[in-house]
Amino acid sequence: MRVEYINPFVEAAFNILKEVLQTEVNREELYLKKSTQPVMGVAAIVGLAGDVEGRVLIDMSKETAMKVASTMNGEELNTIDELVKATITELANMITAQAVTKLHELGFKFDLTPPAIMTGDNMQVSDLNVEALIVPLGLPQGKIEINVAIKERVGA
Amino acid sequence: MKTTSDFPSINERVPEGVTNDGKPIRVMIVDDSMFVTKQISQILSSEGFDIVATAADGAEGVEKYKELYPEVDLVTMDITMPRMDGVTALEKIIEFDKNANVVMVSALGKQDLVKKSLMLGAKNYIVKPLDRKKVLERVLSSIK
C-alpha cells in the first residue's frame, strides 16, 4: 500500500481532533500490519470504492471513546450509548470528509460509505491481499489509531 | 435594548436569538446525527433561540416545516441524510414557502452541493466541525 493514501487521513484526523478537542495531538510512528490484527473496542469504519478501494478504521478503546465524546459534548458520558456512538460517527465523518477532499484534489476518484460503528471486546479485522498502515495519535483522552488498508483497483 | 430593572448589571446584553420586540427566534434543526442536533441546539438555546422542532431526515423536515408553518423562523439543514437529502428537502421547503430561511450544514468537500443549495434559495451555509462563533454568525446573517 502506498503511504500517500494514509497521509491525508492522518493529517485530517490531526486537524479535526485538535479543533474539536482543543488539545495537542501527538503523531506517533507509522507501522504496518499484515492480514489479521486486533481492534481496540470502538471502531468507526468507512469503506472506499472507485479508482482505489479498501477501508479506513478509526480505532480506539471504549474509555477513549467515552472521554473523546465527553469532551465533544461538554458533559460526562460514562457508557457507550447512542450519543457516544453518534459523536464518534460524526468525528469519523469530519475526518474522512477532509481527507477525501484532499485525495480528490490529488486526482483519486472514489466514493465513500457512511461510517459504521463497531463496538465489542476481542475484535479483529482481516484484510485480504492488502496490508494495513497504522498511525497512532496520542491525546490526553487516550490513543486513537488511524488504520488504513487501501489498494488500487485492478484495471483502474 | 432591554430596560434595566432594580439591579442593573454591567454584563447584561441582549441575547442574539431574540428579535427586537423580545420574541425568541424559532428554529427547526434537520440532521440525522444526534450529536450535531444536540450541538446546534445547545449553541442556539444559549443565545435565546427557541428550538421548536428537530427532524432526523429531509422528508421529516419538510413534513414538520409544513405542519408548523408559519411558526418556524429558521431551519438548519444537514446535507447528507438518509431517506431524503438536505438539498431536496431545501427545494421542497422553498417550493412551499419561498421566504423560508434555511441554513445548510455541510461536511467539507461538498462545495458543489452547497453552491446548488445557495442557488436554490438557502440563505447561508456552515461547514463542520461546528463551533459557537461560526454557527451564530451564519445563522444570524441569514435572518437579518
pLDDT tens, position by position, A93-109: 999 999 999 999 989 89
pLDDT digits (tens, 9 = 90+) for B41-88: 999 999 999 999 999 999 999 999 999 999 999 999 999 999 999 999
C-alpha cell read off for A44 = 468507526
Higher-confidence residue: B8 or A143? A143
Model pLDDT, residue A1: 66
pLDDT at A150 over 60: yes
**A104 to B109: CB separation less than 8 angstroms, yes or no:** yes
* Chain B residues lying within 8 Å of A90, measured CB to CB: 33, 35-36, 128
Instruction: Give the distance, in angstroms, between the CA of residue B36 and the centroid of all CA atoms in the same chain.
Output: 12
Model pLDDT, residue A55: 94
Model pLDDT, residue A57: 95
Model pLDDT, residue B24: 96
* Residue A145 domain flag: yes
Q: Are A3 and A149 in contact (CB under 8 A)?
A: no
pLDDT at A10 over 70: yes
Q: Are A150 and A32 in contact (CB under 8 A)?
A: no
| In chain B, domain spans | 26-143
Residue A33: pLDDT band with limits 50, 70, 90: confident
Report the percent of chain B where pLDDT is more than 90.
Answer: 81
pLDDT at A7 over 80: yes
CATH number for B26-143 (one of 3.40.50.280, 3.30.420.40, 1.10.1060.10, 3.40.50.2300): it is 3.40.50.2300
Q: Which of residues 34-93 of A touch B (CB under 8 A)?
A: 72-74, 82-83, 86-87, 89-90, 93
Q: Which of residues 55-74 of B touch A (CB under 8 A)?
A: none
A98 part of contact set with chain B, CB < 8 Å: yes
Residue A2: pLDDT band with limits 50, 70, 90: confident
Model pLDDT, residue B21: 86
- The pLDDT of A63-77, averaged and rounded, is 97
Report the C-alpha gap between A42 and A55 in whole angstroms. 16
CB nearest to B129's CB, from A83, A94, A101 = A94
Report the C-alpha gap between B55 and B78 in whole angstroms. 10
Model pLDDT, residue B118: 97
SS3 content of chain B, % helix, strand, coil (to 5): 40, 20, 40
C-alpha cell read off for B117 = 443549495
* Residue A105 domain flag: yes
C-alpha cell read off for B115 = 453552491
Model pLDDT, residue B8: 57
Q: What is the CATH number of the domain that holds A120?
A: 3.40.1550.10
**B35 to A20: CB separation less than 8 angstroms, yes or no:** no
Name residues whose C-beta falls within 8 Å of residue B23's C-beta, 6 or more positions apart in sequence. Answer: none
Model pLDDT, residue B4: 47
Buried b (16+ CB within 10 A) or exposed e, B71-96: ebbbbbbbbbbeebbbbebbbbbbee
pLDDT at B107 over 50: yes
Please tell me what DSSP assigns to residue A120.
-
Sequence-ordered alpha helix ranges (H) in chain B:
34-45, 58-68, 86-96, 111-120, 132-143
Domain residue limits at A138: 3-150
Instruction: Give the distance, in angstroms, between the CA of residue B18 and the centroid of all CA atoms in the same chain.
Output: 14
C-alpha cell read off for B16 = 442574539
Model pLDDT, residue A141: 97
Model pLDDT, residue A37: 83
- The pLDDT of B91-110, averaged and rounded, is 95
* Residue A99 domain flag: yes
* Residue A156 domain flag: no
Please tell me what DSSP assigns to residue B22.
S
- What's the ipTM? 0.87
